[in-house]
Copies of this chain bind each other. A is one copy, B any other.
Amino acid sequence: MSDLPFQDLYLAARADCWGCGRNNPDGLYLKSHWDGDEAVAQFMPQPQHTGHKGVLNGGIIATLMDCHCMGLAMAHAHRLEGRLIGSPPLITYVTASLKVDYLKPTPLGRVELRARVERGDGRKTWMSCHLLAGGQVTARAEVLGVRIAEPPAAADSA
């Protein structure tokens, strides 16, 4: 297995995402890793990523949780098949449902995301995700990812 972040291993066909794609010209560039059975990511927001002054924007939080969990779904599917993320044939998950509960204001500073797979059934993977600021959980999410069929043309090289 590789120590590179999930997102650095995505094939080019999946590397444009505003939240986590390495090829996006102006995105958030979220990077997620395995930590045992959890996916973990650190993120340092920019000053403009505010909601109310001094608080991390709720839409940015939703974006981070979405990208982090789709990364987890893809990493998990590759792990089950015993192969590297990004190795052909391409495995892609898309978000079917994202539910975020905002438990308390998240200060506009470094945050950590932790997610795990709760359940899988065929093409569907249910995940839970927590956002932590200063070690405190400030938001949590339930996310459903669905594996999509890929046309052969999408399975390009990285």
Contacts and interface: CB of A to CB of B under 8 A. Distances in A.
Contacts of A97: 99-102
A38 B103 CA distance: 28
Interface in A5-34: 13-14, 16-19, 21, 24-27
Interface of A: 13-14, 16-19, 21, 24-27, 47-53, 57-60, 62-64, 66-67, 92, 94-102, 105
Contacts of A16: 50-53
Most chain B CB neighbours (cut-off 10 Å) among A13, A57, A59, A67: A59
B95 A18 contact: no
B58 A60 contact: no
A24 B50 contact: yes
